[in-house]
Amino acid sequence: MSTASIIIPTHGRPAKLETCVDRLMRQRLRSDDSIEVIIAEDGALATGGTETVSRNGIVTRLKLPRVGVAAARNAAIEQSTGEYLLFLNDDCYPDADWAANHIAAQRRSDAPAMVVGRTDWAVWPEPTVFDGLVRDTSMVFFYHGMTHGERYGFRHFWTCNASIPTSIARDVGGFDERLRPYLYDDVEFAWRVDACEGGGVLYDERAVCVHDHRVTWSDYLERERCLGRMAACLAEVNPDCFSAIFGYEDPRRMRDDFEGWLSIDAIDQARIESKLAERAAALMPDIASWSAECELLYAMHLPVKRRHFRQGFVDGYELRGPELWQRRFEASHAFS
């Protein structure tokens, strides 16, 4: 039995996965601790069935049919032997003390804990304005408003860098496999954990990894549309979690409101989006002027972000049912 089982779902990024595993092989642990790495390769098999391939007794590769990120994680959890589960994305590279810091945070906790570590964005050559926005604002993650050692709501449980006692993950039934291919699978899981255990999500900034995933302006807007479509799926899978996030008990009312707002705001928001696209592609400005511009651009982008999310939700709601949504969209999206 290991101290921690590190769970990595993957799909179509072998070079990044190799870098991630290489970093895990260099972890510094206490002499009485050990880790195992379980890689769940979603789509490695063209047909049903699971093939397990082990390496050096530390890394296990599960070869799966195309099942989605939630089912991939569940398959890995089923194989795990660790007291704790540590979650990573295949494009997240942990520093040498990452696993030790997650284990220590779990042991220090005065209550059963969901723990989220700090995920820094990789530094790109010739960074653009949009690279700076993603790095320095809460466009994707909420780290800029978080304090080490504090607890936050279930929406802060991001499985690119997180941990939880294995017994708790199993008690709540793992991740909901109807949320596929990805999005909301982690926060829906955290909602159920919080409902059963309480305590929220503990932030430990010492558990650091680097996210090797460059997001462009167009990527970001497509992600918002996908979040909208998957919100419609979440409404069917877990209505209470949907209501906790969006404040609507009836998704039909949310759809009707969104359709009205889309009609009213379309022209103005399209003009803003065009201007932001031009600025987002420019190289980063002089650092002395960046702080004020960053704040301004972040505020300007919010109506555009909402428009794409709302359109995605309206589209997703019309599909009526997570199974239909999955068949239509799952082939075009890898894990974020």
CATH at 10: 3.90.550.10
Mean pLDDT, the chain, whole residue set: 91
Shared domain check, 188 and 63: yes
pLDDT at 225 over 70: yes
**At 237, is the pLDDT very low, low, confident or very high (cuts 50, 70, 90)?**
very high
**At 265, is the pLDDT very low, low, confident or very high (cuts 50, 70, 90)?**
confident
Of 195, 211, 227, the residue that ends a domain is 211
71 domain-assigned:
yes
What is residue 107's predicted lDDT score, i.e. its pLDDT?
94
pLDDT at 40 over 60: yes
Shared domain check, 235 and 162: no
pLDDT at 331 over 50: no
260 domain-assigned:
yes
133 domain-assigned:
no
Shared domain check, 204 and 254: no
Shared domain check, 280 and 304: yes
Helix (H) or strand (E) holding 27: none
Shared domain check, 222 and 203: no
Closest C-alpha to 73, from 87, 53, 63: 87
Give the contacts of 260 (CB within 8 A, at least 6 positions apart). Answer: none
Residue type, 171: D
Q: CB–CB of 119/158 below 8 Å?
A: yes
Of 153, 176, 211, the residue that ends a domain is 211
Report the SS3 class of residue 161.
strand
29 domain-assigned:
yes
User: pTM value?
Assistant: 0.91
Of 163, 188, 211, the residue that ends a domain is 211
Rg of the Cα trace of the chain?
20
Tell me the three-class secondary structure of 100-113, residue by residue: HHHHHHHHHCCCCC
288 domain-assigned:
yes
Shared domain check, 110 and 86: yes
261 domain-assigned:
yes
Question: 184: how many CB neighbours lie within 10 A of its CB?
Answer: 22
Q: Which residues constitute the domain of residue 187?
A: 4-126+139-211
Q: What does the pLDDT look like over 179-188, one tens digit per residue?
A: 988 899 999 9
Q: Tell me the mean pLDDT in the region 234-255.
A: 95
Question: 58: how many CB neighbours lie within 10 A of its CB?
Answer: 16
Shared domain check, 9 and 97: yes
Shared domain check, 207 and 257: no
Shared domain check, 200 and 235: no
Closest C-alpha to 51, from 37, 35, 40: 40
What is residue 335's predicted lDDT score, i.e. its pLDDT?
43
pLDDT at 266 over 80: no
What is residue 291's predicted lDDT score, i.e. its pLDDT?
87
In terms of phi and psi (left: phi > 0; alpha: psi -120 to 50; beta: otherwise), the region of 259 is: alpha
Number of domains in the chain: 2
134 domain-assigned:
no
Cross-strand partners of 5: 36, 85
How many CA atoms are closer than 13 Å to the CA of 126, on its beta-carbon side?
A: 3
**At 326, is the pLDDT very low, low, confident or very high (cuts 50, 70, 90)?**
low
Shared domain check, 202 and 171: yes
Shared domain check, 280 and 151: no
Report, in this order, helix, strand and coil percent for the chain, each rounded to 5. 50, 20, 30
What is residue 327's predicted lDDT score, i.e. its pLDDT?
57
132 domain-assigned:
no
273-305 as b/e: b if 16+ CB within 10 A = beebeebbeeebeeeeeeeebbeebeeebeebb
Shared domain check, 187 and 312: no
DSSP H helices, the chain, are 14-24, 69-79, 98-108, 129-136, 166-171, 185-197, 217-237, 239-246, 251-280, 287-319, 322-329
Q: Tell me the mean pLDDT in the region 267-282.
A: 83
